[in-house]
Amino acid sequence: MCLAVPGKIKSIIGKEVLVQYEQEVRQILVGDEKIKVGDWVLVQMGIVIQILTPKEAKMALNAWKSS
């Protein structure tokens, strides 16, 4: 089982986005999801798999920090 840490979209260039994590920025691919700068996302294998609400992202980040 893989676990994903939420990241925040920093920029969008076509089907590629930059996702900011706590300690790094990664270049990620996007499918048909309607994303915008500032959205929180989960990524698996370099592809956005889910868009999160800010509340969901905060809960997930707090869970990671407490483990």
Instruction: Give a yes or no: residue 1 inside a domain.
Output: no
The CATH number linked to 30 is 2.30.30.140
pLDDT averaged over 10-residue windows placed end to end, the chain, 67 residues: 85 96 94 94 94 94 81
Instruction: Give a yes or no: residue 61 inside a domain.
Output: yes
Largest CA distance in the chain: 36
For residue 41, the model assigns a pLDDT of: 97
Cα–Cα distance list, 18 to 53, 66, 67 (Å): 18, 26, 26
Number of domains in the chain: 1
Residue 13 phi, psi dihedral angles, 5° rounding: -135, 95
Please calculate the CA angle 53-59-64 and round it to the nearest 5 degrees.
125
Instruction: Give a yes or no: residue 40 inside a domain.
Output: yes
Q: How many residues does the chain have?
A: 67
Any idea which residue has 């969901």 for tokens? 56
Instruction: Give a yes or no: residue 2 inside a domain.
Output: no
Instruction: Give a yes or no: residue 20 inside a domain.
Output: yes
| Domain boundaries, position 19 | 7-66
For residue 1, the model assigns a pLDDT of: 53
